[in-house]
């Protein structure tokens, strides 16, 4: 919010594992040092803030809709995310978000573990997200959902196998 996006990319190295935890609303309750370093924010600036503080304007809404719908049904999510840093720059990751539970099975928190996006995945996901975003700018998620479904179908997948499809794209 209020930050102008630039084309300055912040590299994520192969060994970086960027971790944060969130409450039921997605507010940040914990993050590891690399999360703060990469984002450019201090701990004080990020803790208790919503994760959407990192939201990049290039991210299609439909991806976050899938994320929340899946988490709220108790399942993990794997999704490519472009995040915006405090200086307006960006970094790409493959996020694996899990639902953590207490011993009595009640909700504990959401935990996101992110790794740098592979170059091969980037060549596929970047144009897909641009297409989804363009569709949303005129027709909202009603317009982007069929595009996402067609993309998955072209890859022999569906929303039910979204996570595996993203992981395969990361690996190939
Ligand atoms: C554990 C967890 C981690 C998240 N990490 C990110 C993130 O790194 N970047 C991001 O833009 N959204 C992240 N989100 C999703 C945000 O909560 C939010 O849905 C998203 O930024 C879109 O903003 P909006 O819901 O206000 O449209 C995360 C959510 C959870 C539960």
Tens-binned pLDDT, residue by residue, of the chain (172 aa):
589 999 999 999 989 999 999 999 999 999 999 999 999 999 999 999 999 999 999 999 999 999 999 999 999 999 999 999 999 999 999 999 999 999 999 999 999 999 999 999 999 999 999 999 999 999 999 999 999 999 999 999 999 999 999 999 999 8
Task: Please check whether residue 34 is in contact with residue 16, taking contact to mean a CB–CB distance below 8 angstroms.
Answer: yes
Q: State the closest ligand 1 atom to the C-alpha of 111, by its place in the atom list counted from 1.
A: 1
Q: DSSP 3-state assignment of 97?
A: strand
Structure-token pair, residue 86: 């405090």
52 lines ligand 1 (CB under 6 A): yes
110 lines ligand 1 (CB under 6 A): yes
18-171 topology per CATH: Beta-Lactamase (3.30.450)
55 lines ligand 1 (CB under 6 A): yes
Cα separations (Å) of 164 from 15, 43, 117, 154? Answer: 22, 33, 15, 14
Q: What is the domain partition of the chain in residue ranges?
A: 18-171
Q: Whose CA is nearest to atom 18 of ligand 1?
A: 52
């Amino acid at each position: 919010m209020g930050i102008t996006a630039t084309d300055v990319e912040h590299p994520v190295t192969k060994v970086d594992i960027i971790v944060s935890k969130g409450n039921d609303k997605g507010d940040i309750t914990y993050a590891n040092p690399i999360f703060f370093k990469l984002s450019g924010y201090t701990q004080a600036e990020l803790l208790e803030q919503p994760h959407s503080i990192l939201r990049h304007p290039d991210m299609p809404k439909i991806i976050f809709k899938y994320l929340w719908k899946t988490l709220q049904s108790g399942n993990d999510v794997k999704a490519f995310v472009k995040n915006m840093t405090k200086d307006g720059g960006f970094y790409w990751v493959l996020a694996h978000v899990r639902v953590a539970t207490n011993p009595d099975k009640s909700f504990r928190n959401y935990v996101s573990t992110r790794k740098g996006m592979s170059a091969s995945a980037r060549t596929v996901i970047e144009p897909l997200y641009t297409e989804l975003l363009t569709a949303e700018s005129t027709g909202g998620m009603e317009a982007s959902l069929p595009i996402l479904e067609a993309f998955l179908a072209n890859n022999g997948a569906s929303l039910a196998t979204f996570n595996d499809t993203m992981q395969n794209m990361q690996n190939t």
